[in-house]
Structure 1
């Protein structure tokens, strides 16, 4: 029997047909859940679908949407390209993403990209997509995700918080996707700083500093990276130092994000600065270093200090005026004193 089953599997695989096997629910939020299904050309780990296929081939992907409510509901299922949020982790909740190094967008390889499905109460429905593996060979990963949320017109899910507040939400749930042309192909990210600019919290709550736009400019990925950014003044001014750390980062391939270095209570000052970022994988096997010089202009320092609620300090100007007035009075006193002496002589 086992021999016959193996022969059947081999025939089906040869004709491009795959068995779909379900795994436990990946996530359940609100009144519905989702579950990734997998086939022989996929690896499912931690709820993530890792697809591999030869160039030009078409691969099938599938998820199940489970309606746990007592009423029928409609859900919108979308496949998006991955990007990196400002926490340094990859996400796929946006329909449009861009980066100068992003040449192949996963969402453009998927058909259909958007589907709306009706799921009866207490039932589940499979949602199927096809991914066209690019004909041109590439190394590394194309990344994105399948996002599921209540369709337009569906009522928000209501919950009550511990403090008694009524909360209404339309929860977004998703399954991450990775696409490779070779199951054994891996690639680490590479980082660089595109630019470093001043920023401030426009609400006037005091946050100000600089943001370094870091870019992973290759199709590499590492799911657990820690980073420490240090800003110093140039040249060789070691008295000034600002640091900021991020842990558990997972930047998407060919993406960029803003790494914020908060100045704390220190006002921004015009001058020349240097950014140094050390990134290390959690297992200590990989590390990256990013360095970049940048300048804060007087105009930017004044603008963002004001936005963050710092009022200009004119004490130094009043002191200068007082000193000048004192010197003027002393000068006039000496001048008239000498003139009176000459008249008397």
Structure 2
């Protein structure tokens, strides 16, 4: 017994020692930092991105600082990107060449020079300033232009030594750029466009394309959507999501997963309600899923795995425990009777 206890203690200390040797990610493990040098026309001193008050025909040079904290020389891609909304309902600055919404009249790429997109080399343990230049259109603009400086480390080439392949991680930073020519806030507006059946990562969804058609940011967006057969009130599939945002003059596809449902071809109705702050929207739209679409999607769909029946497992476990208790009692009684004879 004592030998077993000593073994368990030794094993515990060995595991604790091993856990102490697991490396933890330090705050500067990325190897570099990026910051904005805020100019005098910064109209919101509480933020660390470019929130600028500008005017028609204004030309300005912005500066960011890349600080290479690593012990080797590093290269970085610097791009000024348009802010768009991805299909998770998140404002995204990482897309270099996104598909732009038709309502966007003047984008970030229209005012920043091509030279603002550049490849920058920074020596080890050194800071480097990077200049970005824009010029506003002559005609005064409503609302805001939203984009971001997207800085991504150029990873070293992966080395292939025999069968072992070394993978390198690339880290990135985004610094927002918000430009406006007056302090009047333009309220966002939500529109519903195309509804269709699609497949994402081998999972079938009904997507509703939602558009913010105004040059204003939409925040704290909540969407509640459900699909019924046309002419019916019974909900077939539904999806609710909150805490989303939309960039000005952008759109995204709000997905409603089929789940375990296998929607046949036919006519359906989408009911979609949305709320952002004090603004509310209600949509009701009929749409059709073609038979050719269903057959195409079902060829590659990932069949949903059935959830295990935990109640059945619990019942089986209880029956086994009761059976063992009965067997234990009978053995005990038989042994006790033998001893008393």
Alignment TM-score > 0.5, same fold: yes
Specify every segment of 5 or more residues in structure 1 that has no aligned partner in the other structure, as ranges.
1-26, 158-165, 311-345
Conserved in 2, the CA contact under 8 Å of 1:144 and 1:176? Answer: yes
1:71, 1:105 → 2: CA distance?
37
Structure 2 counterpart of 1:109: 111
Q: Is the aligned partner of 1:267 residue 2:266? A: no
1:31, 1:168 → 2: CA distance?
13
What's the secondary structure of 1:107's corresponding residue?
helix
TM (norm. structure 1) is 0.71
What's the secondary structure of 1:196's corresponding residue?
strand
Q: Is the aligned partner of 1:292 residue 2:285? A: yes
Please tell me the root mean square deviation across aligned C-alpha atoms, in Å: 2.5
What's the secondary structure of 2:292's corresponding residue?
helix
1:288, 1:132 → 2: CA distance?
36
Structure 2 counterpart of 1:40: 40
- TM-superposed CA distance for 1:201, in Å, is 4.3
2:66, 2:126 → 1: CA distance?
9
Within 5 Å, give how 1:91-102 maps onto structure 2: 91-97=92-98, 98-102=100-104
2:35, 2:188 → 1: CA distance?
29
Conserved in 1, the CA contact under 8 Å of 2:116 and 2:131? Answer: no
Structure 2 counterpart of 1:194: 193
Specify every segment of 5 or more residues in structure 2 that has no aligned partner in the other structure, as ranges.
1-26, 159-165, 304-341
Task: Provide closer, same or farther for how the CA distance between residues 174 and 292 of structure 1 changes in structure 2, counting only shifts above 3 A.
Answer: same
- TM-superposed CA distance for 1:294, in Å, is 1.0
- TM-superposed CA distance for 1:240, in Å, is 3.0
Structure 1 counterpart of 2:136: 133
TM (norm. structure 2) is 0.72
1:121, 1:309 → 2: CA distance?
47
Which of 200, 205, 211 is matched with 2:207 structurally?
211
Task: Provide closer, same or farther for how the CA distance between residues 44 and 232 of structure 1 changes in structure 2, counting only shifts above 3 A.
Answer: farther
Conserved in 2, the CA contact under 8 Å of 1:28 and 1:34? Answer: no
- TM-superposed CA distance for 1:144, in Å, is 0.9
Conserved in 2, the CA contact under 8 Å of 1:156 and 1:170? Answer: no
Q: How many residues align?
A: 269
Q: Is the aligned partner of 1:308 residue 2:301? A: yes
Conserved in 1, the CA contact under 8 Å of 2:36 and 2:48? Answer: yes
1:289, 1:186 → 2: CA distance?
23
Query: Could you give the per-residue CA deviations for residues 276-307 of structure 1, whole angstroms, max 9, x where no partner exists?
Result: 222222xx423233332211122222322333
Conserved in 2, the CA contact under 8 Å of 1:228 and 1:245? Answer: yes
1:95, 1:125 → 2: CA distance?
23
Conserved in 2, the CA contact under 8 Å of 1:81 and 1:105? Answer: yes
Conserved in 1, the CA contact under 8 Å of 2:226 and 2:235? Answer: no
Task: Provide closer, same or farther for how the CA distance between residues 211 and 45 of structure 1 changes in structure 2, counting only shifts above 3 A.
Answer: farther
What's the secondary structure of 2:216's corresponding residue?
coil
Conserved in 2, the CA contact under 8 Å of 1:133 and 1:181? Answer: no
1:271, 1:285 → 2: CA distance?
36
Structure 1 counterpart of 2:306: none
Structure 2 counterpart of 1:245: 240
2:51, 2:220 → 1: CA distance?
17
Structure 2 counterpart of 1:65: 66
Conserved in 1, the CA contact under 8 Å of 2:116 and 2:133? Answer: no
Conserved in 2, the CA contact under 8 Å of 1:271 and 1:295? Answer: yes
Query: Could you give the per-residue CA deviations for residues 115-155 of structure 1, whole angstroms, max 9, x where no partner exists?
Result: 2222222221121212212221221111111011124xx51
Task: Provide closer, same or farther for how the CA distance between residues 303 and 191 of structure 1 changes in structure 2, counting only shifts above 3 A.
Answer: same
Structure 2 counterpart of 1:226: 222
